[in-house]
Structure 1
Amino acid sequence: MKNNRIRILYIDDEVHNLNAFRANFRRSYEIYTANSAAEGMQVLKGIEVHIIIADQKMPTTTGVEFFNEIKDLLPDPIRILLTGYTDVEDIIDAINKGHIFSYIKKPWDEHELFKTINNAYEIYSARKQLKEKVAELEKTNDELNRFIYSTSHDLRAPLMSVQGIINLSRLDQSLTDPQGYMNMIEVCITRLDSFIQKIIEYYRNSRLDLEYEKIDFEALINDCIDTFKHQNTTISFKVKIDQHVPFKGDFFRISVILNNLISNAVKYQKPEEAYPQVNLNVVVEPHKATIRIEDNGIGILSEHLSNIFKMFFRSKNNNKPGSGIGLYIVKEALSKIGGTISVDSRYGEGTQFEISIPNRNEFDS
């Protein structure tokens, strides 16, 4: 039963105040006392208290100074300041530096102090419950992310096996597929595999530590283009790289960003466009790299521009397949590396994304 009582540490250099406090409140609370800030610190090292009450005017250390000293080391206990003075500067100091819950004048009124202590404990309990809930949610979120990653990773193996079987069936001249079922299966497999890869990208972006290395944008962008240009061989890619200074950045996340943006530029072309094109322009400066990716595709409705970076958002103005998380991953990856992104789009004419990424080569020098 004693362990469930409110534990209070009262610090005051006047012994009769300590005795009076103990006499008045010992039946209601579990009381600990100290006649100096140093002695109070010793008590706190061995006992987890819920509320700390300290007198402002004490030798060597004031109540505000004591609270300021312990606020980072012991942020949970609720702090109450007692003083016989009504100095406004003391009050401001107590609030700003000591992060006190309440300021009470001496001599204290028993009923007022009793009410203040109970209110303080309610706040302590609410904060503790919130902290426990947050920890529980973080644990659940971590377990869910690990499960999703593990499941997504394991799903790719049977998908690739099915893809392999389809490829083998095409080599077998004795098999016919007049209805095109094999092609339909392959399209579904490709879509599912793309979605799984997006989930893996999301997980890795949220988990992997930042790792900076030198980046050759010409080589990186050409690799990205090679990955997606087969999806629409009629597209003309125009690349302009202006990199006269070294650039250092997180290769994985920059690759994810470029792959998603180039993939979208290829995917969302107009079927009727006679000259589909994607323009990529990179300018590397000592402090940043600016990358523009522009297409003459279907564009984005103006009312959708504010939502395109939200998870699972998909524009209703096209019937293109997509997971709805590609641009969300782009925004999250940029956030991780301190970058920014802007978009300008005209429906029916095309879209331009511009991203800015800090050059960590400058920070390391």
Structure 2
Amino acid sequence: MSEINVLYVDDEQQNLNSFKAGFRSRYRIFTAISVAAALEILSREEIHVIISDQRMPEITGVEFFKITKVQYPHIPRVLLTGYTDVGVLAEAVNQGDIYRYITKPWNELELHNSILNAYDHYKINRDLREKIAELQKANDGLNRFVYSLSHELRAPIASAIGILDLVKLEGKTGDSGEYWKLMDACVQKLDYYISQTVQFYKTARFKVEHEQIGFEALVHSLISLYSTSNGSKEISFKVEVDEAEVFYGDKFRIEIVIANLLSNAIKCQRPEEPDKKIDIRIHTDANEASIIVADNGVGMEEAEQARIFDPFFKGTQPGGLGLGLYILQEALEKLNGSVAVHSKKGEGARFEVNIPNSPQHKE
């Protein structure tokens, strides 16, 4: 067994000598006849368990433990008391000032078991602190990685996309036009994958914030953004927004939800369909926002509908990373929202999302 360092505080030297004589063969014992002496020992030694008498002239044991709780919160504290003060003891236990109390004169076996249990408590807390420190270190590394994805990697990708756009704009593709198209597709896909990865990370970790949401402006800004993507210029967007009540919610995650619904609807269009269309209907009331996004695309079988929210599941959906709808569901869980899908193969899909209104959180 590892050596256990025990500090015993008592204003009577006889009690200190008796304690040391009884337990020095089992533990490494430190004794202090005053609070000042005890604090000096705590400042220079790694103490695993503190034991103190309750009745001392300068300060009570409970008051001493209140001090050590602030300076050394992880060390368990055992109180020895020779008289009954139920109110003081109950308050000390409830506030976490003491780990356990034992009446005097102490029973050696009871005190021995209390020290062992207190030390186990100390070890568990120490191991937990070490694990938390390791997790914090890993979390910091993950934050740096995501920052690198979001900034350092996307910057050169954005530059490459800009150069490719210039090449197309100036008509300099020449005989190697197909190679330029392939390069453009690869760079766009890489940019999309990085964007999805960063979006997933932020959705899972960022704190939920509430603010007033203007759905009309939000939807049209997203449509404008996606209108430049491949194939979306041929799509007819129909938007109906009825904001009967002011809606408060997490704009970041709500934007993720609508954006992924739009992206999914665009990708699932049928190339042979002459009248490609996406209908977006949003209604808000005092209780919730109802968001419906429907398309006349490829649709899906019932078996596929049960898996579309699984991570990396692509099904019959062309392209993509298989993370969009998974991220959407993760965002809705943070918002206490829900999503339902209705679809038939070859007849398109209809997604219905409900998000609670949170006016109590308005700024």
Please point out which of 187, 203, 226 is paired with 1:189: 187
Q: 1:350 to 1:207 in 2, by over 3 A?
A: closer
Say if 2:48 and 2:119, in contact at 8 Å, map to a contact too: yes
TM-score when normalising by structure 2 = 0.72
Could you tell me which amino acid in structure 2 is paired with residue 264 of structure 1? N
> How many Å separate the matches in 2 of 1:188 and 1:147?
22
Q: 1:296 to 1:69 in 2, by over 3 A?
A: farther
- CA drift of 1:283 comes to 2.5
Could you tell me which amino acid in structure 1 is paired with residue 226 of structure 2? F
Partner of 1:256: 256
Most deviating of 11-20 and 187-196: 11-20
Partner of 1:31: 30
Say if 1:5 and 1:30, in contact at 8 Å, map to a contact too: no
Gaps of 5+ in 1: none
Partner of 1:150: 148
> How many Å separate the matches in 2 of 1:331 and 1:68?
47
Q: 1:251 to 1:108 in 2, by over 3 A?
A: same
Partner of 2:338: 341
Aligned residues: 353
Structure 1 residues 279-310: Cα deviation after superposition (integer angstroms, max 9, x where no partner)? 333232346434333445424755774772x6
> How many Å separate the matches in 2 of 1:133 and 1:252?
31
- Tell whether 2:267 aligns with 1:267: yes
Give the match's secondary structure for 2:175: coil
- CA drift of 1:218 comes to 0.4
> How many Å separate the matches in 1 of 2:281 and 2:68?
53
Structure 1 residues 307-328: Cα deviation after superposition (integer angstroms, max 9, x where no partner)? 72x6xx2225225222233344
RMSD: 4.6
TM-score when normalising by structure 1 = 0.72
Say if 1:290 and 1:356, in contact at 8 Å, map to a contact too: yes
Q: 1:21 to 1:295 in 2, by over 3 A?
A: farther
Structure 1 residues 332-351: Cα deviation after superposition (integer angstroms, max 9, x where no partner)? 54555x44233334463524
Give the match's secondary structure for 1:176: helix
Structure 1 residues 216-272: Cα deviation after superposition (integer angstroms, max 9, x where no partner)? 210111111222245334544332222133334443333233212221222234556
- CA drift of 1:10 comes to 4.3
Most deviating of 25-34 and 205-214: 205-214
> How many Å separate the matches in 1 of 2:202 and 2:303?
32
> How many Å separate the matches in 1 of 2:60 and 2:271?
77
Give the match's secondary structure for 1:191: helix
Could you tell me which amino acid in structure 1 is paired with residue 238 of structure 2? K
Q: 1:334 to 1:351 in 2, by over 3 A?
A: same
Could you tell me which amino acid in structure 2 is paired with residue 217 of structure 1? F
Partner of 1:114: 112
Partner of 1:359: 358
Structure 1 residues 120-166: Cα deviation after superposition (integer angstroms, max 9, x where no partner)? 32442233123223212222222232133224422333333333443
- CA drift of 1:76 comes to 2.0
Could you tell me which amino acid in structure 2 is paired with residue 247 of structure 1? F
Partner of 1:245: 245
Gaps of 5+ in 2: none
Could you tell me which amino acid in structure 2 is paired with residue 148 of structure 1? V
Say if 1:291 and 1:354, in contact at 8 Å, map to a contact too: yes
Could you tell me which amino acid in structure 2 is paired with residue 253 of structure 1? R
> How many Å separate the matches in 2 of 1:174 and 1:105?
90
Say if 2:12 and 2:33, in contact at 8 Å, map to a contact too: no
Most deviating of 316-325 and 181-190: 316-325
- CA drift of 1:39 comes to 8.4
- CA drift of 1:278 comes to 3.2
> How many Å separate the matches in 2 of 1:85 and 1:306?
66
Q: 1:320 to 1:56 in 2, by over 3 A?
A: farther
Give the match's secondary structure for 1:254: helix
- CA drift of 1:352 comes to 1.6
Most deviating of 327-336 and 143-152: 327-336
- CA drift of 1:200 comes to 3.6
Q: 1:319 to 1:204 in 2, by over 3 A?
A: closer
